[in-house]
Structures are given as C-alpha cells and as structure tokens.
Structure 1
Amino acid sequence: MAIKVITDSTSYIDPETQNELGIDLIPLSVNFPDESFLETEVDYDYFYKKIEKTGIIPTSSQPSLGVIMEKFREIVSRGDEVLAIFISSTMSGTFATAMQAKEKILQEFPKARIEVMDSYTNCMALGMQVVAAAREAKVGASLNKALQAAQFVRDRVRFYFVPETLEYLKKGGRIGTASALLGTILKIRPILTVDMKTGMTHLLEKTRGTTTAINRMLEMMEADRNKYGLKEILIHHINAPEKAQNLKKLLMERYGLPVDICSIGPVIGLHTGLGTVGFVYYTEN
C-alpha cells in the first residue's frame, strides 16, 4: 500500500519535481469567449498576449466532480491511499468538489483512506505543502505523517507579490477605475498577500514603485527570518524573468539558500497580470 499525493494545477510545481515525487496534478481551466484551455496545456505567452491584445480577462473554472472522482477511484482501486491538497477553498470550489468526490468514492470503497486538505492558499505556497507531503510519502511514511508535514508548512508559509500594473485588478473588478487611474499616475504598487486565516488574497500595503515594494517585502521576510528562521524560498513571476533573476541573485547572496524560480500560470495570473513578481517562503519555527 502506497500514498499518492494529489494537487491541482495552481500549485505550479515544476514537472521534474512532480515526476520525482510521484505527484498527480488535476488541472483547472481558463475560458475566453471564443476558446478554453486546461491550464496545463495552454502556452503562457499566448495566454497573456491574448489578454493584452483583446483586453478581455478570461474566467477560470474548477475540475469537475467526475474528474476528481476518477482520479480518486484509480488510486484506491489498486489499494493505495490518497492525500489531496488543493487551492484555498475561498478562492475556488475545487476543495469542496473534492470533498464530495471523497464521500462518493468511500461509498464504493468503504475501506479506502482518502484525506482532503485545504491549503488556504495557492501557487507554490500550496506547492510547498504538497512537496513536503510527497517527500514523506516517497520514503514510506504513513498517511498521517505526510498530512502533518503538509500542515507544518501550511502553518508557516508566507506569500508576498506585487503587480507591475493595476489594469488586471481593474479589469477583474478587484479595484475601481478611479483608484486604478490614480494609482497609475502616482506609481502606486500594492503589496498583496494571501491571508492564511481566510484563504483570500488581500492588500497588505501600498508603496510608490516596484523597487520600494520589493524592498518592503524583503524587510518582512527578514523580520520572519530573525524571529523564526528560514526554511525554503521560491520566486514567482509572470513574464518577468529579468526581475526574477535579479531577485534570485539578491536572495541567494543574502541567505545562502537555494532559490528556484517559478512562472505563475493563467488561473492565478489573470488576476494580477504581466510583470508581477513575488516570493514564497516558509519558516523553521
């Protein structure tokens, strides 16, 4: 009997790590009026250029009940156990649908073991939880121990990011036109984060300019490092590789830790847009 760790595509775990740790990924979708894509199958450059060209912010949709049931059934029918960790339940219905899938599959397989966990977040703040659980599963740990490893990261993870433009927040209805216009004139850059109590993205602070925003985010991480210690750091960006590389160099020099870079995909990226950069980390204590 093995443990299979499952997550969704908004974790943005790189394919190499997925393969190495045997992580299964269920994709969400993005939908323009004239075409739809699974997030795992759309070219990121094409997606973001289409938004820029058309001015249309697409919608996203969660996996269907049937898709999640099929994945659970595939695993438990061979006698394995499931640990499924999904995007925040307040950002997407994926977690709620997975809970329904669990109920239905347990009616078919009463002795099966399925744990479904709410990450309270997204991107690699979710992905780090998944990877921690998968590492335990790979070395033969129990389902409970793998679940505890994910919860350990969830309790300590932080995610800060800053968009280059307010246009996506405006088009997505998350900021008014007047506020967006004034913010653009004043070069306001909001520092956004995911509140791990509510599982929602919210405005943490407003700053003047991207450099100031990044410096402020670094100050917050430094305060956490001094108080709790740093365990892992990862940089996220949306079509901003130069910004990401500069930030990587700075963080590696400062902390002496390996720092990976990960592009944010369409489902999360459609809310903040091109040029967004930020980082995810979790603390030791």
Structure 2
Amino acid sequence: MYQIVTDSCCDVPYQLLAEKDVAFIPMIVNINGQEYFDDLGKSFDYEQFLQSLRDKQQPTTSQINVGRYIEFFMPYCEKGEAILYLCFTSGMSGSYNSALQAVDILKEDYPEANIQVVDTLAASMGEGFIVLEAAKRKQAGASMEEVMAWVNEHKMNLQSWVTVDDLSHLYRGGRLSRSQAAMGGLLNIKPIIHVDAKGTLQNVGKVRGRNKALQKVVDETVDHLVSKENQTVYVAYSGDLEAAEKVMGLLKEKIDVQDSGIFPLGPTIASHTGLGCIAIFTFGQERVD
C-alpha cells in the first residue's frame, strides 16, 4: 500500500486529484500581506486572485518548509504507509531539498518509513502530467517502485513551451532586466520560454505580437514531438481562456490529439507569470540544457 503525493504547483484541480487518489500539500500565496493556501481550487478564491493581477498587485509565494513537510508526512509514517512524493522542480524552488530534509528527520523516529521524493523537474501541468500518468499506473496495479522507475525514465521527455504577455513578472523574477522589460513592452515583444533538463526556465526566443507568440509555442511543441500520432496535450493559462482554446485548436490541426485538457494556471505559478501566460505540455524528445 502506498500513497502518491504531490504539491499544488502541479495545477491539477483538487477534484481530479481526489478522483485519482493523489494527495497534495499546498503552497502559500501572499496577497497584500495576507497568506492563502493554494489548495487547487478547494477554497482559494481564484477570481479574486486574477483581479489582484489586473489591479497590478504583486502576489508573492513561499516554498514548503521542512516543518510543513514533517507535519504532512507524519500521519503516513504512523500508519506505516509508503509515500511517493512527486515534487515541483528543484530548478525553481527549494521545496525539493526541504522535503529531503524532512524525510531525514522523520526517519530518526520512524526508521522503517518508506518515503521516496522524486524531483519531477517540471512545473504546472508539466508536473501535473507526470502525476496523472503515475496515478494511472498505480490504478492499473503498478507497485511504487515500478511507478517511480517510470517517472524517472520518462520525466526528461516532458516538454513545456511557454509564452507570457506581461514582462513585468519576468523582471520581478530576475529573468529580465528593467530595461529589457520596458523595451519589450514598448515593442510588443513576447518571450518564448522552455523548461530545460535542469527544470529551470530558459528564454529561448522572442517574437513581436501575441498571435505570433501563440503560434511559435505551438510550432515548438510540434517540432519537439517524437511522433504526431496519438498524443496527449495539456494547455495551461492565466486569465485568457480564449487564447488557450485557440492554441489547442492550432495543435489539433497539426497533430493527432487523442487526449487533452485545458486548465487554469494555479495562483502559485501565475504569481510569477502574470496574466496572459500560455503553456503547452506534451511528452516528446528528451530535454537538453
């Protein structure tokens, strides 16, 4: 008996995680000095959050600390139930290292505890994609070791292609200088971003105009597939469902999409992307640095 666990950076709605028997630990979002749990829509007021972005407020986020991991994992240790924790990429957060520290501390009191922490090297529905595939295999009868082996074997094939509409958030995150963000805004420049093999965001291109940016992330997604047949595709968005639907439509014109989903970016991720972010997730070619 084992429990698959993830965190709210996976951006999978809580109802779907419950259906798949996946537990999750929330990240924390701070808006105007008030802390909220990113609980994947269970109680978090997402519309109010989007309005805060429209009002040019600047939410901040906190990684999961060692104490919260201990508190979350301990009931499983007390029951003797194994845990497979599929974690938000270490390339964007220290949560992975905090989880490892928590496991070491718990094993002092529960030496037989079986807690496996896997760095997905992915974010948003990229992490969520891996989580859902893991849950599918568990429900089909795979052991924890088999599921963990599958994740480690395939996570580097998870492709994530992203564009953002508001460069100020990339400036806040240190990915653009103030002058680059200002000039990009004036010239209507949109960055093309990829999650690399280290699980970090890399600016890999830029185009002028929103429509060209949407087309570019579609093209990059298609170009990095191994096959155009029988694909599963997820699109995540922050505040622009119309753009997400457009992107999905463009993808379906180019590849055979057998399964798909369009999901809002959760507040933890959207706090760093701002409004208008569009991200596409598929399994394809192996990621490189």
What TM-score do the two structures reach when normalised by structure 2? Answer: 0.90
SS state of the match for residue 257, structure 1? Answer: strand
Report what 2:106 is aligned to.
105
Report what 2:11 is aligned to.
12
Report what 1:191 is aligned to.
192
Report what 2:242 is aligned to.
242
Aligned residue pairs total 282
Report what 2:261 is aligned to.
260
1:224-249, CA deviations, whole angstroms, 9 ceiling, x for partnerless residues?
23568664210010000111112223
Report what 1:133 is aligned to.
134
CA distance in 1, matches of 2:13, 2:111: 34
Q: Give 5+ residue unaligned stretches, structure 1.
A: none
SS state of the match for residue 71, structure 1? Answer: helix
SS state of the match for residue 110, structure 1? Answer: coil
Contact 2:222–2:228 (8 Å) recurs in 1: no
CA distance in 2, matches of 1:171, 1:106: 38
SS state of the match for residue 218, structure 2? Answer: helix
CA distance in 2, matches of 1:82, 1:29: 22
Counterparts in 2 of 1:69 and 1:51: CA distance versus 1, 3 Å: same
1:97-133, CA deviations, whole angstroms, 9 ceiling, x for partnerless residues?
1101111222222222111011112101111111222
Report what 2:162 is aligned to.
161
CA distance in 2, matches of 1:58, 1:212: 28
1:142-163, CA deviations, whole angstroms, 9 ceiling, x for partnerless residues?
2110102222331210111111
Report what 2:25 is aligned to.
26
SS state of the match for residue 86, structure 2? Answer: strand
**Which stretch shifts more, 92-101 or 147-156?**
147-156
CA distance in 2, matches of 1:76, 1:179: 49
Q: Which amino acid aligns with 1:213?
A: A
SS state of the match for residue 202, structure 2? Answer: strand
SS state of the match for residue 121, structure 1? Answer: coil
**Which stretch shifts more, 235-244 or 33-42?**
33-42
What TM-score do the two structures reach when normalised by structure 1? Answer: 0.91
CA distance in 1, matches of 2:146, 2:222: 30
CA distance in 1, matches of 2:224, 2:32: 44
CA distance in 1, matches of 2:140, 2:108: 30
Identity of matched residues, %: 26
Report what 1:212 is aligned to.
212
1:190-228, CA deviations, whole angstroms, 9 ceiling, x for partnerless residues?
0112112x2211201011112212222222222223568
Contact 1:29–1:60 (8 Å) recurs in 2: yes
CA distance in 2, matches of 1:276, 1:149: 30
Q: Which amino acid aligns with 1:28?
A: M
Counterparts in 2 of 1:133 and 1:113: CA distance versus 1, 3 Å: same
**Superposition CA RMSD, Å:** 2.1
CA distance in 1, matches of 2:34, 2:257: 45
SS state of the match for residue 91, structure 2? Answer: coil
Q: Give 5+ residue unaligned stretches, structure 2.
A: none
CA distance in 2, matches of 1:282, 1:124: 12
Report what 1:200 is aligned to.
200
**Which stretch shifts more, 230-239 or 5-14?**
230-239
